[in-house]
A and B are shown apart, each in its own frame.
Chain A
Amino acid sequence: MSGESDLIYLYDGSYEGMLCCVYESVYGREVPADIVPENEAEPTLFCTKYIETDLEHAQRVQRSLARKIAPAAEDLVRDTFFSCADGKERKILRFLLFAYRAGDAALRMRAHDCVAPLYEAQRALRNEVHLLLGFLRFSEYDGVLVARIRPKNFVLPYLQPHFCARFAGETFLIYDKTHKAALVWQDRRARLVALDNLETPPESEEELSFRRMWRTFSDTIAIALRENPRCRMTHCPKRYWSEMWEMPGGEEEKLKMRSLPEDFTKS
């Protein structure tokens, strides 16, 4: 296989599209300098090559993960892809080129340069998923539950199994502002949809009173003599606070607000 070229692959940004870039690299025997979603590509001196998404190619690569490496490689690659790791496509390709040769041993080589970045990305994604299972807040509008989140990683597919099982009998929507997408659960069916903006009616008195009670509970349960704001912030980073009605900022006003201005977390 030839060394690194000065070629950049562009693709449609989908998981399947990324797998097709892997296919192209392996069968074309070339290692691109980078792989970038088309809509994020910046003008560059490198040559670019657009890789069409071909589901059959994608499937072949997908199947090769379990066959040539190990079943756990499927999760590792997918998790890295949905993470917010820098240059994740490049990291995935590098890993695969290495792992196709090393086989299942690659997964145990957590300390290896080609492997470690994927585990890091996976950990970051899973960590954010885990935090959001707890920190996400629903508000009720006429029987429908709505939550807004602003995650760094693309967590919606990972939140889906948990919330759809827990609230199986409900109708709910989780809106991801960062990635402009929503998870909708209705009539026991889940859908992931693109969504630019989400408008909701004003909150009912009942909704506001639950927020107020929750805030009262949270304020009261703390033991003053043990106050430890730093510990609170380490466990619950400020960027999650905007919809957590129990957290400081804005007091009563915040209870009425649907969501806070973007710069809230910077203050």
Chain B
Amino acid sequence: MDVLKKLEILTDSAKYDVACTSSGSDRGPAAGKLGTTAPAGICHSFSADGRCISLLKVLMNNYCIYDCKYCVNRRSNDVPRAAFTPRELAELTIGFYRRNYIEGLFLSSAVIRSPDDTMELMIRALELLRTEYKFNGYIHAKTIPGADPALVEKLGLLADRLSVNIELPSERSLSLLAPDKTKQAILAPMRLVQQGVEQNRAELAVYRSAPRFAPAGQSTQMIVGASPETDRQILRLTESLYQRYSLKRVFFSAYIPVAENALLPSLDTKPPLLREHRLYQADWLLRFYGFSADEILDDTAENFNPYLDPKCNWAVHHPEFFPVDVNRAPYEDLLRVPGIGVVSARRIRTARRESALTLAGLKRLGVVLKRARYFIVCADSARPLPVSREETVRALLDPKAYSVTCEQLSMFAAPDIQTLAASGMSARKAADEGKENAVSCLVKAI
């Protein structure tokens, strides 16, 4: 089999892994070596589904001994199989990297023979790349659950980032859908990596030349929509992963039906893209906006409102917090205002030292007034826009949930709109109806 064919098969097998970021590592040039890493990461292209391509994301091989029900590579599935040799993979990576197609490699693998054998193959490929080919660019490697801790350690010394996929948001779903994997087998390497990173930090403080262990930390991902967990459960799990395992990122992947199985959503189920999007927004609030999971989804809501992003949703349910005076409020409070992001909040903090900010000034700083005006006071506006609750809600609705182009619903359409449309209603009518329902529900609720 030629390399082009292998590349096609092993890319196809890897595409459901969502992480493709090349961030978190800051390595300048090294004598005689090829490559550097950029702390913020760099996107080299965008694929037809609009996702960033930063790394060559492939599997080492897709011969799997496991049978995870949600996975295309499961043992019982009839798909073409292939395996790269370490040298093929190294040459492909270098060829792509020199042409500036990629930031580096994201290497994962199906479990061939045993977790240890699999990890050893991956390690061999990465060793070749790092030593013989002198590759100094970014490498993200997936550790295989159940592998020997010594191998995890070796892998961490070769890679910038490690990941162990948590796969599903609960132990019960894991045992049903991925019977060969256990929560323990997933969390153990996660703990190991965490300890490795911390220990390495201590070593580096003493010996600057100590070898670096996964300098970009670790990430994980879970599939959303294959199993029955609620958004609240998922978000709490996410929060605890950040807190207890010091993860750099948690990724979510909307389940795309790949198998007919009584335990899984039927094959014609649309991937829950809007839900995935809301999870990412909430994840952002956890990491950069000082929200806790329990603030974002409290006892009154198990799931996100499809029509409002989580921050707007929090704002309409907490009128007592507003208005916020942009010329005086602390930074943390600015961050809670819809329409003000991290960048504009920082700019407000600097600019207001020189002169009191006006609406026009805020606009120049990047504040989205269309949303913010209902929640702020500033130099030339002593009160937030005095309008009805209904008007406020309308201004905050996320058009993603109900937009229609060329008589077609967007892929992000809210689930109730999709149901209406599926029952034969025209796209535009379904969208209008869904939206109006949402508005009246929200107005009643607040």
Contact = CB atoms under 8 A, between A and B. Distances in A.
A135 B103 CA distance: 11
Interface string A88-125: 00000000000000000100111100001000000000
Interface centre among A108, A136, A220, A235 (most CB of B within 10 A): A220
Interface residues of B, number: 59
Nearest to B99: A138
Contacts of B15: 220-223
B98 A218 contact: no
Contact of A167 (B12, B14, B34, B354): B34
Interface stretch (A12-20, A77-85, A224-232, A259-267): A224-232
Contacts of B290: none
Contacts of B36: 162, 165-166
B360 A111 contact: yes
B98 A170 contact: yes
A226 B354 CA distance: 47
Interface string A227-256: 111111011100000001011000000000
B44 A134 contact: yes
Interface string A124-156: 000000100111111110000101000000000
A46 interface: no
A232 B47 contact: yes
A135 to B, nearest CB: 7
A135 B45 CA distance: 6
Contacts, number: 150
B29 A168 contact: yes
A117 B223 CA distance: 45
Q: Interface size class for chain A?
A: 35 or more
Interface string A157-178: 0000010011111100000000
Interface centre among B11, B38, B48, B96 (most CB of A within 10 A): B48
Nearest to A223: B49
Given A169-B34, A212-B4, A229 B98 contact: no
Contacts of B256: 223, 225-226
Interface of A: 105, 108-111, 116, 130, 133-140, 145, 147, 162, 165-170, 209-210, 212-214, 216-232, 234-236, 244, 246-247
Interface of B: 3-4, 7-8, 11-12, 14-16, 28-29, 32-36, 38, 42-54, 56-58, 92, 95-96, 98-101, 137, 254, 256, 270-271, 273, 347, 350-351, 353-355, 357, 360-362, 364-365, 411
5 contacts: A108-B354, A166-B36, A216-B7, A219-B48, A230-B50
